[in-house]
Structure 1
Amino acid sequence: MNLSILDQSPVSSGATASDALQASMLLAQEGEKLGYKRYWIAEHHNYPALATSSPEVMLGYIGANTSSIRIGAGAILLPHYKPYKVAETFHLLATLFPGRVDLGIGRSPGGSAEAMIALSGNFLENVRKTPQLVEELLYFINRSFPNDHQFAQLNALPIPDVNPETWLLGTSGKSANLAAEKGLSYAFGHFMTEKDGPSIVQQYRQHFRVNSSGQPSQVIVAVSVICAETEEEAYRIALSCLLWSIQASRGVTSGIPSVEEARAYSFNKDEKKILENLRSRMVIGNVRNVIEQLRNLQSTYKADEIMIVTITHSYKDRLKSYELIAEELALYIK
């Protein structure tokens, strides 16, 4: 089972954004030692609890402090940007770190309405243009504009020896169809939706068409996981993440609460229902239980790869979760 890391660079209560970013760098380094295939970092705006507003900047830092793990964005939110600039940025990263760079693209806002306006003006109009934006981006990445196109002679420099591997991230049939139509690999956010993920992924496979780069269809399924030495400990650690998710859905933007804060919190009846629903979409438990659930998800989705996102208040608990899973699956390459 190929395993990778998705990092949202969470800021814990009592910690700073600098602490979170340094913890992200350490996670990438340890993930490399543990044998994880990829390290992707997400993009969020005007969100104090998540530190990375510019994945491409962080990837330069991560790439310079690792040597073999693939690094990428999960995702660059394309409606906010011009495709040419995105292509330039990821060509530069791919030149610095040859054969290691992934360009994950998405179309969610990644922040508040005010942030959307500040970044891209009419965001919804740009979302409607996503298929055209993706097509233009791929032309720049693959240097494949038609001869009569206005950008046919324009290159996104520098040109790397190995192009970044391009992925489309999503949680819907619309994103699956777009990935299939454009010949892109597809990363499905299982942890972000209650939709029928396996049928969406199957839809992607059925309609996939190879593009000019010849990239094959590949599927990553991103899953929220918390693993600990015991089942009880895993659920204890997970409570802070679950409370944070409930608070975030109601506009509370403070950092990830501690386990003690979460245990002291009095959940009302409605919150308890939300809590159980959130918990049912996560993989929580001791290592054997977690591995069994991940294998079941891999089989259900027929996924090429599972990407794990783990949010805990303690950065040590987060790292321990990834270590336990890697050791159980003999990924460890120290």
Structure 2
Amino acid sequence: MKLSILDQSAAAHGRGQDETIRQTLALAQQAEAWGYHRFWVSEHHSHPSIVGTAPEVLMAAIAARTQRIRLGSAGVMLPHYAALKVAEQFRVLDALAPRRIDLGVGRAPGSDGRTAQLLNPDRNASERFPQQVMELQAWVNGQNLPPGHPGHKVYAYPQSDTAPDIWMLGSSDYGAQLAAHLGLPYAFAYFITDGQGADEALQIYRETFRPSAGLQKPNAALCVWALAADTDEEALRLFESRARWKMDRNLGRIGALLPPEDAARDYSPAEQFALERLREGALIGSAATLGRKLRQLAARLEVDELVLITWTHDPAAQSRSYELMAQEFALTPST
């Protein structure tokens, strides 16, 4: 099974946000050395917890520091932008790292409604998403748009004999249906829904998939939040930072990750019940424990690639988690 990483540049209490971005670069280099298949970065705006706002910039910096690992966006929130500009950015990235670039796109704003409107004042931008994706496909692959289209005989440069792979990202049936219709690979955001809707979306994707020039059969990946440590007990301790964040988020409080030792607070009885369920269902544990959970999940949903997202307050704990999973799944660097 392929293992990949999605790093969201999660803010940590007491650490500068600029340091968080640099930590993402360092993690990408480690991921390549451990043998991970892809390293993806995300796009969020005006988000106190996730400070990665410009995946295309991060990807360029990572491309300059790596040689083999695939790099991608998970994703570019396409309704914020002109498809031509996105195509140009990723054609430049492909020139810097040929055959290593994934262009993951999504329809969600990655922000609140007010921020989304500041990024693009067109309130109906998301309704054009399917058309944008098709335009993006043409420009990324060097194809001419049909006569009568405003983009006819307009091209995204630089051109070459390689092109980024476009991925559809989603957490609902909508993305699955569009990915299947356009013959694109599909990544389901399991970590957003805590698994709800995953079975249905993946089934729709596989059953309605239409082969395309770039992809002859369905290709689905699952993006999951996961944390490994040397023992089950240590993984549970580290998880307290994430658990506190999720419980606070339910109350509309969004901020940086707290250290595990500072994560406890007084919870209401209803919160205590929700917290216990959260701990019980979390993909955490020692390498053996988490490895078993991940294999069972991948087998149940019939995917052969998992993209792991790990938040910890301490970057060393995050690195150790990914290192343990690389060992558990016997990853080897590609040549």
TM-score, length of structure 2 as denominator length = 0.95
Q: What residue is the counterpart of 2:131 in the other structure?
A: 132
Check conservation: 2:142, 2:159, Cα contact below 8 A: no
Q: What residue is the counterpart of 1:279 in the other structure?
A: 279
Task: String of CA shifts for 1:145-198, please: whole Å, max 9, x gaps.
Answer: 454133231110111331101100001111100110011100001111142312
Q: Distance in 1 between matches of 2:276 and 2:128?
A: 37
Check conservation: 2:184, 2:215, Cα contact below 8 A: no
Q: Distance in 2 between matches of 1:186 and 1:280?
A: 28
User: Within the alignment, does 1:315 sit opposite 2:315 as a pair?
Assistant: yes
Q: What residue is the counterpart of 2:212 in the other structure?
A: 211
Q: Distance in 1 between matches of 2:307 and 2:53?
A: 21
For residues 132-281 of structure 1, the aligned pairs below 5 Å read 132-148=131-147, 149-193=149-193, 194-214=195-215, 216-263=217-264, 265-281=265-281
Figure out how many residues of one structure are paired with residues of the other and give that number. Answer: 332
Q: Distance in 1 between matches of 2:196 and 2:121?
A: 30
SS in 2 for 1:330: coil
Check conservation: 1:40, 1:72, Cα contact below 8 A: yes
Q: What residue is the counterpart of 1:84 in the other structure?
A: 84
Q: Distance in 1 between matches of 2:64 and 2:260?
A: 34
SS in 2 for 1:129: helix
Q: CA deviation at 1:298?
A: 1.0
Check conservation: 2:144, 2:152, Cα contact below 8 A: yes
Q: CA deviation at 1:49?
A: 1.9
User: Within the alignment, does 1:54 sit opposite 2:63 as a pair?
Assistant: no
Q: Distance in 1 between matches of 2:127 and 2:211?
A: 23
Q: What residue is the counterpart of 2:288 in the other structure?
A: 288
Q: CA deviation at 1:122?
A: 3.3
Q: Distance in 1 between matches of 2:280 and 2:84?
A: 41
Task: String of CA shifts for 1:196-249, please: whole Å, max 9, x gaps.
Answer: 312310210111112343464211101110111111110110011111122234
Q: Distance in 1 between matches of 2:126 and 2:101?
A: 25
User: Within the alignment, does 1:122 sit opposite 2:122 as a pair?
Assistant: yes
**Could you tell me the percent identity over the aligned residues?**
36
Q: CA deviation at 1:250?
A: 2.8
Q: What residue is the counterpart of 2:19 in the other structure?
A: 19
Q: What residue is the counterpart of 1:29 in the other structure?
A: 29
Q: Distance in 2 between matches of 1:94 and 1:215?
A: 22
Change in Cα spacing, 1:276 to 1:159, as seen in structure 2 (3 Å) is: farther
Change in Cα spacing, 1:236 to 1:214, as seen in structure 2 (3 Å) is: closer
Amino acid at match of 2:295: R
Check conservation: 2:84, 2:139, Cα contact below 8 A: yes
Amino acid at match of 1:279: R
Change in Cα spacing, 1:214 to 1:225, as seen in structure 2 (3 Å) is: closer
Check conservation: 1:79, 1:126, Cα contact below 8 A: yes
Amino acid at match of 2:177: N
Amino acid at match of 1:137: L
Change in Cα spacing, 1:320 to 1:161, as seen in structure 2 (3 Å) is: same
SS in 1 for 2:291: helix
Q: Distance in 2 between matches of 1:141 and 1:298?
A: 31
Check conservation: 1:98, 1:161, Cα contact below 8 A: no
Task: String of CA shifts for 1:238-266, please: whole Å, max 9, x gaps.
Answer: 01111112223433232101101113x22
Amino acid at match of 2:135: E
Change in Cα spacing, 1:96 to 1:215, as seen in structure 2 (3 Å) is: farther
Select between 248-257 and 101-110 the one with higher mean Cα deviation. 248-257
Q: Distance in 2 between matches of 1:211 and 1:144?
A: 14
Q: Distance in 1 between matches of 2:35 and 2:202?
A: 26
| Over 6 Å off, 4+ runs | none
Structure 2, unaligned runs of 5 or more? none
Q: Distance in 1 between matches of 2:25 and 2:271?
A: 34
Amino acid at match of 2:238: I
Structure 1, unaligned runs of 5 or more? none
Q: CA deviation at 1:274?
A: 3.0
SS in 2 for 1:3: strand
Q: Distance in 2 between matches of 1:73 and 1:62?
A: 12
Q: Distance in 2 between matches of 1:160 and 1:246?
A: 48
RMSD: 1.6
Q: CA deviation at 1:132?
A: 1.1
